[in-house]
Amino acid sequence: MGEIPRTLSPEPPFADTGKWIGSVLIAVILGEGLWGLIVSLTNNLILPLLARVIVADAQSPLYLGKGDINVPALFASVLELCFAAIVAVILNSWVRRKTKPARSQSVRVSPIPAQPAVLSGPSLEPVQAAPSVPLPTVPAPSASSGQFWSPPEPSPPKVTAPPPPTAKAAKPKEAKEVYYNIVGEPINPTEDE
């Protein structure tokens, strides 16, 4: 009852930091373009229209200018917003694209069949035969997969009997200690230089 159900996320928690950075970059680009359009509309369209409506003396502190609408500046700000939108769309498609999964081939493994006991040796004791290791089988590619070559089937491994134990055990040799100097040349530690 006290267990909290947990769901596994399909991605590690820090795997989508690139997506977050891309989203923030898209928001900054679009925000800059939109802010430039708002400033241009205010300075080049709304303010001159107010200057035409409010007729004031040129010496008055309420004077808003001649009332000339700056069409090239308005066009430039609209063009900047369009370029920002194009860059945002391209960046969004680049950030949101999914990586192609690695091409995987299916491998079928057959179960190991039970091996019959084999009588061997001087006392004819039953000995279990070494199980043969089955090789994985790869399905043949279809003509629609676009693969024209398939790797050759490997030959089954040959079962070899272990060598008979020798009656005389070899005496292991003692390892001679070898010392090396800093250059890597062997030195004799008993010699004093």
* Mean pLDDT along residues 155-171: 71
Pair 114, 130: CB distance under 8 Å: no
Task: Give the pLDDT confidence score for residue 95 in this predicted structure.
Answer: 86
Can you tell me the mean pLDDT for 39-62?
83
Using alpha carbons only, give the angle 138, 142, 146 rounded to the nearest 5 degrees.
Answer: 105
Report which secondary-structure segment, H or E, holds 23.
Answer: helix 17-41
pLDDT tens for 164-183 read: 766 666 677 777 788 888 88
More confident site: 143 or 101: 101
pLDDT band at 145 (very low <50, low <70, confident <90, very high): low
d(CA 183, CA 193): 16
- Does pLDDT of 128 surpass 60? no
78-102 confidence digits (pLDDT tens): 999 999 999 999 999 988 887 666 6
| Phi, psi of 144, rounded to the nearest 5 degrees | -80, -10
The SS3 of residue 119 is strand
Q: What is the pLDDT of residue 160?
A: 78
